[in-house]
Amino acid sequence: MAALGELPYSSDERNDIQLAVAECVQNIVRHAYAGKAGGPVLVMLEQSEVLKMRFEDRGPVRLDWKPSIVPLEQNQTAGGRGLALIDRLTVEFDYQPTERSTITTLGFALPKETA
């Protein structure tokens, strides 16, 4: 998260970004590398109209699965709130399985001073 130090995000904005990233990484650990000692996660940053963070894991690919986001207010289960939280905290959220990996993209609005 050191890369955020270059941009004038407020403390609340930084906390939101860190929370969304933590949820994303937790999902990768829980689902892509479940039952394994771990695996690689490639993280890519791009700044364009938004700050994009891409997370690529090499866990088993589920080509037929698409995320189903249940709004936080409607989710009454003990878990399963991570995707809704990520969706709420980002301006872009994409899950893209490929033949060899899964790429999850989180997009965050740039601070008004740099937008």
Please report whether residue 46 resides in a domain. yes
114 in any annotated domain: no
Q: What is the pLDDT of residues 81-114, one digit of tens each?
A: 788 889 999 999 999 999 899 999 999 999 876 5
Residue 115 lies in a domain: no
pTM, whole model, 2 decimals? 0.82
Q: Is the pLDDT of residue 31 over 60?
A: yes
CATH of the domain at 15: 3.30.565.10
Please check whether residue 110 is in contact with residue 7, taking contact to mean a CB–CB distance below 8 angstroms: yes
Does some domain include residue 52? yes
Three-state SS sequence of the chain: CHHHHHCCCCHHHHHHHHHHHHHHHHHHHHHHCCCCCCCCEEEEEEECCEEEEEEEECCCCCCCCCCCCCCHHHCCCCCCCHHHHHHHHCCEEEEEECCCCEEEEEEEECCCCCC
Quick check: is 89 in a domain? yes
Q: Quote the number of domains for the chain.
A: 1
The domain in which residue 92 lies consists of 6-32+41-109
